[in-house]
Amino acid sequence: MSNLFSSLHTASNALRVFEKSIDTIQNNVSNVSTPGFAAQRLDLQALPFQLENNLAGGVTEGGLVSSRNQFAEREVRRQVESLGNSSQQAQSLAGIAALFDVTGTTGIPAALSRFFQSVSSWGVAPNSTTARQAVLGSARDVAASFRQTAAGLAEASAATDTQIAGNVARINTIAATLASLNSERARSQSPDPGLDAEIHNNLEQLSELVDFSVLYPADGTVTVLLGGQSPLVIGDHHFEIRAGSFQPANPPPVNLSAPPQAQLLDSDGKDITAEVTGGRLGGLLSVRNGLLASLLGDSQQAGGLNALAKQFADRVNELLTQGHITDGPPPQNGEPLFSYSPSDATAAASTLDLTNITADRLAAIEPGPPEVGNGVALQLAGLANSIDPADQVDGLTYVAYFGSLAGRVGNLSSHSQDRSDQQGQAVAQARNLRQQVSGVSLNAEAARLVEIQRSYQAAAQLISIISSLTETVINMLPRG
Q: Tell me the C-alpha to C-alpha distance, in Å, between residue 304 and each of 293, 356, 477.
A: 9, 27, 106
Do 38 and 196 form a contact (C-beta atoms < 8 A)?
yes
Cα atoms in the 13 Å half-sphere on the side-chain side of 322? 16
User: How far is it, in rounded angstroms, from Cα 213 to Cα 203?
Assistant: 10
Q: For residue 172, which amino acid is it?
A: N
Residuewise pLDDT in 10s, the chain (480 residues): 456 667 777 778 888 888 888 888 888 787 777 787 888 788 788 777 666 666 667 788 878 787 788 899 999 999 999 999 999 999 999 999 999 987 888 899 999 999 999 999 999 999 999 999 999 999 999 999 999 999 999 999 999 999 999 999 999 999 999 999 999 998 887 778 889 899 999 999 999 999 999 999 988 899 999 998 999 999 999 999 999 875 554 555 444 556 678 899 999 999 999 999 999 999 999 999 999 999 998 878 899 999 999 999 999 999 999 999 988 788 899 999 999 998 888 999 999 999 999 999 999 999 988 889 999 999 999 999 999 999 999 999 999 999 999 999 999 999 999 999 999 999 999 999 998 888 888 888 788 888 888 888 887 887 788 778 777 777 787 765
Annotate the chain with three-state secondary structure: CHHHHHHHHHHHHHHHHHHHHHHHHHHHHHCCCCCCCCCEEEEEEECCEEHHHCEECCEEEEEEEECCCHHHHHHHHHHHHHHHHHHHHHHHHHHHHCCCCCCCCCHHHHHHHHHHHHHHHHHHCCCCHHHHHHHHHHHHHHHHHHHHHHHHHHHHHHHHHHHHHHHHHHHHHHHHHHHHHHHHHHHCCCCCHHHHHHHHHHHHHHHHHCCEEEECCCCCCCEEEECCCEEEEECCEECCCEEEECCCCCCCCCECCCCCCEEEECCCCCECHHHCCCHHHHHHHHHHHHHHHHHHCCCCCCCHHHHHHHHHHHHHHHHHHHCEEECCCCCEECCCCEECCCCECCCHHHHCEECCCCHHHCCCEECCCCCECCHHHHHHHHCCCCCCHHHCECCECHHHHHHHHHHHHHHHHHHHHHHHHHHHHHHHHHHHHHHHHHCCCHHHHHHHHHHHHHHHHHHHHHHHHHHHHHHHHHHHCCCC
Q: What is the pLDDT of residue 61?
A: 80
Query: d(Cα 116, Cα 397) in Å, to the nearest integer?
Result: 12
Sign of CA dihedral 284, 289, 293, 297: positive
pLDDT at position 53, please? 64
Question: Cβ(228)–Cβ(207) under 8 Å?
Answer: no
Provide Rg for the chain, Cα atoms: 38
The answer to whether residues 236 and 194 touch, using CB atoms and an 8 Å cutoff, is no
Q: Which of 225, 296, 217, 305 is nearest to 260 (CA)?
A: 296
The reported pLDDT for the residue numbered 82 is: 96
- The maximal CA–CA distance of the chain, rounded, in angstroms, is 154
Across-strand partners of 274?
Answer: none
Residue 9 is predicted with a pLDDT of: 75
Question: From CA 212, how far away is CA 224, in angstroms rounded?
Answer: 7
Residues in Cβ contact with 317 at an 8 Å cutoff, skipping those fewer than 6 apart? 336, 337, 338
Q: What is the pLDDT of residue 441?
A: 81
At 189 the pLDDT is 74
CA distance 126 to 327: 13
Alpha carbon 379 to its chain's center: 48
What is residue 254's predicted lDDT score, i.e. its pLDDT?
45
Q: Is the preceding peptide bond at 330 cis, omega within 30 degrees of 0?
A: yes
Whether pTM exceeds 0.75: yes
- What are phi and psi for residue 271, nearest 5 degrees? -75, 120
The residue extents of the domains of the chain are: 2-67+442-476, 73-303+397-430
Q: Write down the pLDDT at residue 253.
A: 45
List the Cα angle 470/475/479 in 5-degree steps: 135
